[in-house]
Structure 1
Amino acid sequence: MFIETETTPNPASLKFLPGQAVMSAGTRDFTSPEAAEASPLAQAIFDTGEVTGVFFGSDFVSVTAAPGVNWTDLKPQVLSILLDHFVSEAPLFTPGSAAGIAVPPDDTELMFEENPEHSDIIAQINELLETRVRPAVAGDGGDIQYRGFKDGVVYLTMQGACSGCPSSSATLKHGIEGLLKHYVPEVVEVRAA
């Protein structure tokens, strides 16, 4: 088995491509060792003691190194863990965990109750996020979650390699905001949630 690696716009994160499906549906973001307990693979990566984030996409795993950690030392450790996992065909999640959920349940809730009169606007926003934004963000080793729409402002959360990326605010403000404002005139701003 050969696992490819790709750099991401976030210098602290690398994207690992095992050449097979990782998640059959959705994504999963682990931002702490406690959250990683739901997955033996994520937990093993966190157990290196040099990682602050693990993200499972459809066909990739993004790993974010802790500040000051050198990828030259960490990359072989992560590759070894990934190889062991995929060659042994071990389960991605522990039995009874929230497998396949895009994010832990408390993070999928909207920031506030949305106005039912905005359902068409929200549907347009989500359609654009799904078809135009999510594939591009996945290409960079991350994902984006819709968190709400209120008073013309769209609230989004960046995940995986895109979370904490130096260019994530530019992506939100210049890329995603421009796209949404162009196709959905009711959108006046995009903010990180």
Structure 2
Amino acid sequence: MFIQTESTQDPATLKFLPGQQVLADGKLVFEDSALAAASPLAERLFAIPEVAKVSFGEDTIAVTKSRGEWQLLKPVIFGAIMEHFMSGAPTVRPTAEATVQSSSPGQQAQSNELVDVIKGALHEVIDPELGYNIADLGLIYDVSVEAGGEVCVTMTTTTPGCPATNYLGQGVRDKVTGVPGVASVNVKLTYEPRWMPEMMSPEAKAHLGIT
């Protein structure tokens, strides 16, 4: 079994492509280990201490880490995924299948387009302390769009208790609310994983003189 990986905009999240079907349709997200009982595969992944979040697509497995280096984590995750598929167990237990969020290809394409527009708008939110946009600073961890234009933005700040936390959160709400197609915005603040300068884009690092 050959498993490929694919990077994401969030340095803490990596996609694993096992080369076979993961879900028959839709998407399933496990925000923490307490929800993993619905999925044998999620249980195996959350048994790895560094795993903080798991999501499944039709042929992808996205894993978000809380700490550690991918170089060390990838072999462990590869092993968990391979063990699952070799066991013949389902990705989702039958009693939990109703929780899978199904969407047609057209709806998914529209959702992806809206996410891209939202991420573009977030480049207009400037961190007052660093003088650069929060998207390139790596403060935006995730943007998701649910049915009806409900948007959830998961973000962090450079330090817990940052005095600009409320300012940045409101800036995100204002910019995302102004995007056509957005009905509501929920801003989720997290410090897992903790922000590090390595999360910044090359442009942000250059602006701040970080090499």
Shorter-chain TM band: 0.5 to 0.7
Give the distance between the partners of 1:28 and 1:80, measured in 2 at CA.
Answer: 21
Higher RCO structure (Cα 8 Å, ≥6 apart): 1
| Stretch moving more, 89-98 or 51-60 | 89-98
TM-score normalised over the length of structure 2:
0.56
Give the distance between the partners of 1:157 and 1:14, measured in 2 at CA.
Answer: 20
Q: Aligned residue for 1:111?
A: none
Residues 66-112 of structure 1: CA distance to partner in whole angstroms, max 9, x if unpaired? 1x322122111100111111233321123422455229xxxxxxxxx
TM-score normalised over the length of structure 1:
0.61
Which ranges in structure 1 are unaligned for 5 or more consecutive residues? 104-125, 149-153
Q: Aligned residue for 1:112?
A: none
1:156 aligns with 2:151: yes
Secondary structure, counterpart of 1:96 in structure 2: helix
Deviation at 1:135, TM superposition (A): 7.2
Q: Is the 8 A contact 2:143 2:151 kept in 1?
A: no
Q: Is the 8 A contact 2:111 2:145 kept in 1?
A: no
Deviation at 1:25, TM superposition (A): 1.3
Residues 21-44 of structure 1: CA distance to partner in whole angstroms, max 9, x if unpaired? 111111110011110111111011
C-alpha distance 134-21 of structure 1, shift in aligned 2 (>3 A):
farther
Give the distance between the partners of 1:88 and 1:18, measured in 2 at CA.
Answer: 14
1:13 aligns with 2:13: yes
> Which amino acid in structure 1 is aligned with residue 151 of structure 2?
L
C-alpha distance 143-19 of structure 1, shift in aligned 2 (>3 A):
farther
Secondary structure, counterpart of 1:72 in structure 2: helix
Secondary structure, counterpart of 2:112 in structure 1: helix
Which ranges in structure 2 are unaligned for 5 or more consecutive residues? 116-141, 158-168, 188-211
Indicate the RMSD between aligned Cα atoms, in angstroms.
Answer: 3.7
Deviation at 1:129, TM superposition (A): 5.5
Deviation at 1:128, TM superposition (A): 7.8
Count of residues paired in the alignment: 148
Q: Is the 8 A contact 1:54 1:61 kept in 2?
A: yes
Give the distance between the partners of 1:15 and 1:22, measured in 2 at CA.
Answer: 12
Residues 48-76 of structure 1: CA distance to partner in whole angstroms, max 9, x if unpaired? 1111100001110000001x322122111
Q: Aligned residue for 2:30?
A: 30
C-alpha distance 58-128 of structure 1, shift in aligned 2 (>3 A):
closer
Q: Is the 8 A contact 1:55 1:63 kept in 2?
A: yes
1:87 aligns with 2:64: no
Q: Is the 8 A contact 2:5 2:15 kept in 1?
A: yes
Q: Is the 8 A contact 1:54 1:64 kept in 2?
A: yes
Question: Within 5 Å, which residues of 2 pair with 1:44-193?
Answer: 44-66=44-66, 68-98=67-97, 101-102=100-101, 130-134=108-112, 144-146=144-146, 154-157=149-152, 163-164=154-155, 181=180, 191-192=185-186
C-alpha distance 165-63 of structure 1, shift in aligned 2 (>3 A):
farther
C-alpha distance 147-164 of structure 1, shift in aligned 2 (>3 A):
farther
Q: Is the 8 A contact 1:45 1:81 kept in 2?
A: yes
